[in-house]
Amino acid sequence: MQQLTQKLGSGDMVIQEVPYPQLGKGMVIVKNHYSIISAGTEGSTVQAARKSLIGKAKERPQQVNQVIDTLKKQGPIQTYRAVMKKLDAYSPLGYSCAGEVIEVGEGVTEFEVGDRVACAGAGYANHAEIVSVPVNLCVKLDETTNLKNAAYNTLGAISMQGIRQADLRLGESCVVIGLGLLGQLAALILKASGVTVIGVDVAESAVNQAIENNAVDIGLVRNAAGIEEQILNATNGIGADAVIIAAATSSLDPINFAGAIARKKGKVVVLGAVPTGFDRDPFWYRKELELKMACSYGPGRYDLNYEEKGIDYPVAYVRWTEKRNMEAFQSLLITNKINIDYLTTHEFDFDNAKQAFDLVVEKSEPFTGIALKYDTAKEPSKASVKTSDSEALGKVNISFIGAGSYAQGNLLPNIPEHSEVTKVGVLTNTGTTSKRVAEKFKFQFCASEENDILNENTNTVFIATRHDSHGPYTIKSLQANKHVFVEKPLCLKEEELEKIIELKEVSGKSVMIGFNRRFSPLTKKLKKSLGNNPVSMIYRINAGAIPKDNWIQDMEIGGGRIHGEVCHFVDYLTYMNGSLPIKVSATAIPDANQLNDTLNVLIQFKNGSSGVIAYYSNGSKSLTKEYIEVFSAGFSGIIHDFKELKVYGKGKPKKKKLLNQNKGQKEMVKAYVDGLLKDGKAPISFDEVVAVSKTCFAIVESIKRGGEQIDI
């Protein structure tokens, strides 16, 4: 399958062969017929990618600050890896397309193979031969629909959401500032709704295009003499009932101009990318104007439950969702209430997509909408994509399922180079990530299907996917007789844990969890200093807040922060005292979102040791994240954020300070691979792995019971 990609670092754009996309629950696979290039959104992305590093930094000051913050906390190595991962990644382009359904995922009832559909969504409706799209970002089309026009689906929904925010009535007036693609679409829809439309643009050609195609009632160039008076006259001396700003500029002129031409108590809707720092006087304050933002395609946008899980909003309470906006736009097309034929000024075969983007960036000739046309006679292939000529295998043959930011920064770079260690295959949700990871880390292929990973060539599977899939992938890997390294947590369901225990016993294969902190050099040094007496431990984590709508906080997908993060610290205390947990109690500070991510956990261990995990999401960002204290028989040890160790005993305290933070990821991966090479065993015992998982389930239960002590 071919897809258009670009590297953010170099700006290189290429159509390349990538694996067939994954068909997840609630998704459909679509063969594209057309996709539309958004000159605004995509054009700015491509232009930024083609700039120098300094140019990129100037355009993204917020991301520069994030890099500086990472540098302070994690040191230059991790920061470099994180930045290079972004710069070297193959970024998919496109977010609006149309085609036919060729596969239907689990739980999908509204679509069938052969349906003609229009799709939306960055990361989904890409410029690619085949795309995988969630059902709420996909709408069914009439058999007679013009698929080229239908491919404007996303842009039409965005324009429609701006109009809905304006909340106009029949006979009212609206000025559309900016007559690019979004502005033209907004004007057409407004006119079809019985609204008087006045279009304004800095370019005379855009104004003339709108006038010639009956998209506006009146078209004006921004620098026209007496433009404010003309608009006042056209609105019977009232001023515009609403102004929709569909321009893209860093200038304050659109927002201040909107204030000048809007009627008293009118609305100004920001649809394009413009600053909103308007002048208070003389218009905005005295007219008591209302400023509204239009959020992309409409209600449901950026909502994980709506977009990824397919949970719709009840129509009685949310009349117009992003999907219903798309459906309304397609209805306008099929009933000929609007005609957008003129918007497609250029059409390119998909093979010539780079030329199309050159036109967008260089503006070598006038354009409005640019359509990419696909070869629909081409049969899709699910074959793996080779990234190496080598087919040699060793004693340890590793494949990855999932390879996101953490895996690329902490796991993949640390797989030791060894003659008996082979990197076989990579499977991720997106073909672009699979391809880039396979190339960069020298795997033999990137895969389209699980069976490509779980075949006889692989004997060790690294699982670094979202948390809800850890248990199922671990089970499948053990059933396929593979060693398993799974990023924490092991699983989110107790029945999955029981199945893993059963399969581990039957297969005899190793099951390793990514509990890296126990492998940190400072941890090893502290552990070595302890005697055999019971240990008292405190592990304080200044975790920071994560929004409720983040996938980690979603109990079905991420399992919440107890399963997703606190498990790390349960393992650490287990390792430090050298025995398994037997009892646990936990209490959480009540919060409005019921996230249970500010909590205290007390664990008792078999050898008499005890430990407190103080996991707080409500602290200051300026405080270091992790702080550990250990006490035993006149001995005390302190670790500050895995950068500094202080040991107190007899005599003068001993100190060990690292130049960079080291949480033990490199040492962990090496220890695991070395264990496989030696005897096939993991460096963390399976009893500890199981005990940590059971303890996390017990922590959740204890919080539900108001802090009641739970036996492990």
Contact 284, 290 (CB under 8 A): no
Largest CA distance in the chain: 90
Contacts of 564 (CB under 8 A, 6+ apart): 467, 488, 489, 552, 558
Q: Please say if the pLDDT value at position 77 is more than 70.
A: no
* Residue range 517-711, CATH number: 3.30.360.10
CATH class of 2-152+340-373: alpha beta
Q: Please say if the pLDDT value at position 64 is more than 70.
A: no
State the span(s) of the chain assigned CATH 3.30.360.10. 517-711
Contact 35, 126 (CB under 8 A): yes
511 vs 87 pLDDT, higher one: 511
Quick one: average pLDDT of 243-270?
A: 96
Q: Please say if the pLDDT value at position 452 is more than 50.
A: yes
Task: Give me the amino acid identity at 383.
Answer: A
Phi, psi of 517 (to 5 degrees): -60, -30
State the span(s) of the chain assigned CATH 3.90.180.10. 2-152+340-373
pLDDT tens-digit series, residues 689-703: 999 999 999 999 999
Q: Please say if the pLDDT value at position 52 is more than 60.
A: no
Q: Which residues of 497-525 are buried (b: 16+ CB within 10 A; e: fewer)?
A: bebbeebbeebebbbbbbbbbbbbebbee
Q: Please say if the pLDDT value at position 57 is more than 60.
A: no
Summarize the chain as % helix, strand, coil (round to 5): 35, 25, 40
Token pair in block for residue 315: 């129509």
| pLDDT attached to residue 13 | 86
The percent of residues in the chain predicted with pLDDT above 90, rounded, is: 87
371 HSE (CA, 13 A, CB side): 23
- Of the candidates 304, 397, 432, the residue with the CA atom closest to the CA atom of residue 15: 432
Q: Please say if the pLDDT value at position 60 is more than 70.
A: no
Q: Residue 612: in which H helix or E strand, if any?
A: strand 610-616
pLDDT tens-digit series, residues 651-709: 899 999 999 999 999 999 999 999 999 999 999 999 999 999 999 999 999 999 999 99
Task: Let me know if 123 is exposed, middle or buried by CB neighbors in 10 A (0-12, 13-18, 19+).
Answer: middle
Q: Please say if the pLDDT value at position 236 is more than 60.
A: yes
- Of the candidates 516, 615, 120, 511, the residue with the CA atom closest to the CA atom of residue 324: 120
| pLDDT attached to residue 49 | 53
Quick one: average pLDDT of 576-587?
A: 98
DSSP 553: G
Quick one: average pLDDT of 263-289?
A: 95
Give how far the C-alpha of residue 691 lies from the chain's centroid of Cα atoms, to the nearest Å: 32
CA distance 590 to 592: 7
Q: Which residues of 430-449 are buried (b: 16+ CB within 10 A; e: fewer)?
A: bbbbbbbbbbbbebbbbbbb
pLDDT tens-digit series, residues 209-227: 999 999 999 999 999 999 9
CA distance 543 to 621: 9
Indicate the pLDDT class of residue 197, thresholds 50, 70 and 90.
very high
* Residue range 394-513, CATH number: 3.40.50.720
Q: Please say if the pLDDT value at position 35 is more than 90.
A: yes
Quick one: average pLDDT of 127-156?
A: 97
282 prior amide bond cis, ω within 30:
yes
Task: Give me the amino acid identity at 77.
Answer: I
Q: Please say if the pLDDT value at position 176 is more than 60.
A: yes
Quick one: average pLDDT of 538-559?
A: 95
**Residues constituting the chain:** 712
Contacts of 27 (CB under 8 A, 6+ apart): 105, 108, 132, 133, 134, 135
Contact 442, 450 (CB under 8 A): no
CA distance 582 to 571: 13
Question: In whole numbers, what is the pLDDT of the chain averaged over residues?
Answer: 93
Contact 382, 446 (CB under 8 A): no
Torsion from C-alpha of 440, 444, 446, 450, nearest 10 degrees? -140
Q: Is 509 helix (H, G, I), strand (E, B) or coil?
A: coil
pLDDT tens-digit series, residues 82-110: 665 566 667 889 999 999 999 999 999 99
Q: What's the pTM value of the predicted model, to 2 decimals?
A: 0.89
Quick one: average pLDDT of 59-75?
A: 61
Give how far the C-alpha of residue 347 lies from the chain's centroid of Cα atoms, to the nearest Å: 31
Helices 153-166, 181-192: crossing angle, 10 deg rounding: 60
pLDDT tens-digit series, residues 337-352: 999 999 999 999 999 9
The residue with tokens 């905005």 is 284
Contact 298, 96 (CB under 8 A): no
- Of the candidates 520, 626, 635, 533, the residue with the CA atom closest to the CA atom of residue 577: 533
State the span(s) of the chain assigned CATH 3.40.50.720. 165-293, 394-513
Q: Please say if the pLDDT value at position 56 is more than 50.
A: no
The residue with tokens 């008293």 is 264
279 HSE (CA, 13 A, CB side): 12
User: What is 165-293's CATH topology?
Assistant: Rossmann fold (3.40.50)
Q: Please say if the pLDDT value at position 574 is more than 80.
A: yes
What residue spans of 420-510 are helical by DSSP H? Answer: 431-440, 450-453, 470-479, 494-507
CA distance 276 to 278: 6
Q: Please say if the pLDDT value at position 74 is more than 80.
A: no
